[in-house]
Amino acid sequence: MRNEIDIKEPYKRVILPFKSGIKYVYMPKLSATIKDPITGEVSKTAHPFLVDTGASISIINARFESFINRLEPVDRIKIQYGSGKKNLNIYDIIIIIKGIEIQAKVAYDELLSISLLGHYSMFENLTYQLFDASKMNARLIKVRR
């Protein structure tokens, strides 16, 4: 039986600017866009998201600013980043990855350098997040019950 959701993405290269010289690491990033669940309108651009199993909630950044500004926030949340805290608006959106739509609550942080996919209402609705460093790809799977 085929999985209900099975998204496979190759790792993307990220630069690590060490003082001793530039190094590279390959990380699980994928392209996604967002949709307004009320109007059905879809953002006209796709942007990278880091598959971040350390993130409690998904966060989108300023690349989606013009689209997110048309939506009404449904809540607020205090997010802990490293050593600092921030209050962020929460939005109900649909995240589209390779044509697959996943409804999620996301925070919006205009200063975040890359958007993140996190656990709340995203990974918790999937069955597995698989990271294969030898094949350098990531898979998001929801098993059909």
Partner 1 sequence: MKNLEFKKLYKYVLRMLKDFKEINPNAYISLPDILEILNYKASFNEALEIAKYMETRGWLNSLFVIGDVRLQITSAGLVEIDEYEEGFDEEYKNYLSDLTKEKGQLKLTAYTEPKDSKLHVVEFLNGISSKIKETEGHEIDLNKDIEIIKIELSKSQPNIEALEEKFRYLMNLQYVASDVQLAKKYIFQDEL
By beta-carbon proximity to partner 1, the closer residue of 29 and 139 is 29
**Burial status of residue 54 (CB atoms within 10 A of its CB: 0-12, 13-18, 19 or more):** exposed
By beta-carbon proximity to partner 1, the closer residue of 44 and 78 is 44
Residues that bind partner 1 (CB under 8 A): 12-13, 15, 22, 24, 29, 31-33, 42, 44-46, 48, 96-100
Closest C-alpha among 16, 19, 105, 20 to residue 58? 105
Closest C-alpha among 129, 115, 133, 88 to residue 33? 115
CB of 19 to partner 1, least distance (A): 15
By beta-carbon proximity to partner 1, the closer residue of 15 and 83 is 15
